[in-house]
Amino acid sequence: MAKDEKNHKDLRVDEAHLYREEIFTDLKVATLRRMTPVKPDGLPDPSRPPLFSAETQVMSQVGPVPIQCPIEARTLKEAIDKFPAAIEEAIEKIVQEARDIRRREASRIVVPGAIPGGFPGTIPPSSPGRIELG
C-alpha cells in the first residue's frame, strides 16, 4: 500500500471541534465570519465560545489587497464594533512585514553569478568568483 493511500485512510473529522460557519456583510467594506461551535448532532455547543474573523479589501498600488484577521468577540455586535480596530491592526502588521522584507532585501549581499532568490548562477564551481567571457 502506498504511503499516500494510508494517509488518506487515516483522515477523520474531529468531532470535538466542529463549527458552523455564518457570513455577515454590509455589502460595502465589511465581511464578518462567525464560527459557532456545534456538537456532532449539529446543535450548538455552549461550552465553547464562538470565533469571529474580519475580512475586507484595501486598495494598493498593485490593486486590491485582501485583509483577514481574527476578532476577539463573544457576540456579533461586539465583532462589528471591533471590526475597524482589528482591520487597522492587521494592515499595520502587513505594512511592517513588507518594510522588513524590503529592508532585508536591500541589505542582502549580491554575489556575482547568483540569481536573486538563492538559485545557482552560471559561474562554474571550479572557478568561484570568476566571470568567464566567451
Percentage of residues of the chain with pLDDT beyond 70 = 78
Rounded Cα gap, residues 51 and 49, in angstroms: 7
Cell numbers found for residue 5: 493511500
3-class secondary structure, 87: helix
Q: Write the pLDDT tens digit of every residue in 20-36.
A: 999 999 999 999 999 99
Asked whether 19 and 35 are in contact (CB, 8 A), the reply is yes
Backbone φ and ψ of 79, nearest 5°:
-65, -40
Sheet hosting strand 63-71, strand order edge to edge: 18-25, 31-38, 51-60, 63-71
Give pTM, 2 decimals: 0.69
